[in-house]
Structure 1
Amino acid sequence: MSEEEVGQEFDRVMRAAMMALGQVREAMSRRAADRDRQVQAQSAAALREQEQRTAQLRQIVGRQDFWDNATGERVANAATYGATLYNTDRNAATIYDTVRDQAHARWDINVDEIRAQFPDDEQARRDALMHAVDDRLAALRDDALGQDDRAAAATLQEDARAEREDATEVLQEVGEPTAESEQHERHADALDSEADVDLANEYGHEQDHDRHLNDAGAEDASAASRDTAQMPVPVAAHEAPRPAPETTAGQVRQQMDTSYPQGAKQTLASSGKARAPKAKSAKSQQARERTSGLSR
């Protein structure tokens, strides 16, 4: 699957999941005024649709190709969606945990600490994570470009040395400069000039690399300096789950504990009062990364 196809699949399922959440909300609104069996059935159907979409998102986020082609926006959207339903849908909790683990393993980004900076503003949480990921990805691209320039410069310098060796051989044979030896020298000088351009480009990429890392690090450093104890304490995956409601109506009410507006970005960004996933210590996060894997 190509990079574009991976991204389009994620975006399509994310939109469908948000629409399903909107249908749950709408069904609950109708149900408040009309409690007949038909409305109850519609509420249950909307809830099942939302759960199915969340399961699809979990599968996508768990794939290697999603992370190989990740963007800051998609990572932030996945984290926000997972955090919003963390305590009511196990698939959503898995989405958030996967984002948290992969962001730390791939880019040294602490999702919990970034989110802790904005305990009451889900839009700010999303934006901060998006920018942190984009800055790290940009730094990696700059590093790769710098390596390409350095390799190209090394090849040109090697070719220049070979030209000068040829010029030296001609001089040794003839005993004085000739048109051939001078041509070799000119070629060597031209190759050295091209190598200098590549080295200058490499330096520019190094500067961009450092700037992007500083931009990403500023958010991490700010998050690390805050007291993460301010975060609301959620029900973590390893803790005993709440008893499951026995009725369909109870299931819908539990699902709607976390409100979800009907906009697009607003839908993802307006859940600031929902309880956040429990922050991990660095030690526990490293242990999880060693044992968790992605599906292929």
Structure 2
Amino acid sequence: MDDAPRIGDLEVDGDALTGDGTTLSALADELACGIDETTAAEAPSDGWRVLRRLESGAVYLGSPVDADHRTWRVAQVHPSEQLPLVRVHPNTMDLRPSRAERRQGLELRWPSFVAEIADPSDLVVDIVIAGTARWTPESEGFRAVGALTAPGETGFSFGWMGSAADRAVPLDPGEVTRVPVQLQPQSDANSPEPGPYDLHVVVVELGLRLAEPLRVDLTAEMVGRQLAKQNQHRADAATERRAYDRQIEAERLRVSARRSWPEIAEVVGSAASDDEALARIAPVLDCEPEQATSVYDTSLRGLVRADADRRDERLQELIRRRDTIG
């Protein structure tokens, strides 16, 4: 949905932004869900509509709070939960242009000396204003991620995490800013063999890509250097696997907790101590009291507002990383 408008960071169906909508209670009935009244107390009573349905089954709802439909309240529901509830996000969110609109006028170009850089992990790329108007960031970052594929292959995926160091800056026509290309790390199990590859570069928050990939030739020395850099602070395989197992176990419990949250809240509410609370949570989640700590220590707000789809993706990514350990 690269060309879809966004509310906050959520890409939404553009057709859903028009029209009068309906009441939150009517929409909840249509979805066969209840409403978490503690989150909906100050939410609009009407104007609600479905903004987006995810493949996982999660549904995002929204209601404009101004006449121009520029500011919205957003809610989320997971109909597959045991007791599905519509939960309203506590803050308003602004309607934003699509990523395709936001990157208009920007281009990625290799600097003139790119041929002199042998190792892809040392590459930089230029972000250039090719349009006639100033480009001003709207909370976006200029993080450029590089992904290697077999020559001619165009499909690839990547993970990333932004930081303050990636902050974008305003650019006037003709101006250029140069940023490093963050090459996607490879594990020992799927590290590339020496040989030719296509390097694709994306400025992730804008979906800005190079028109054509750069052909690079990896030597055995480059591959070894990249893995050595990644592994210099890595624990031994057994220790690393155990650490991932603990993270996976905790993440699975937090996922389970979403389906059992009303019951957890009930048993914790009457507990006289932390130990008693953990002892009461354990049978609800079918785990040991010490394992229940990952749920007990999670903030209530974090659980209510959590994006279950991202949590599922995180769980699958943790499993994938664990399974690639030698």
TM-score by length of 1: 0.23
- Greater fraction of residues in strand: 2
TM-score by length of 2: 0.21
- Greater fraction of residues in helix: 1
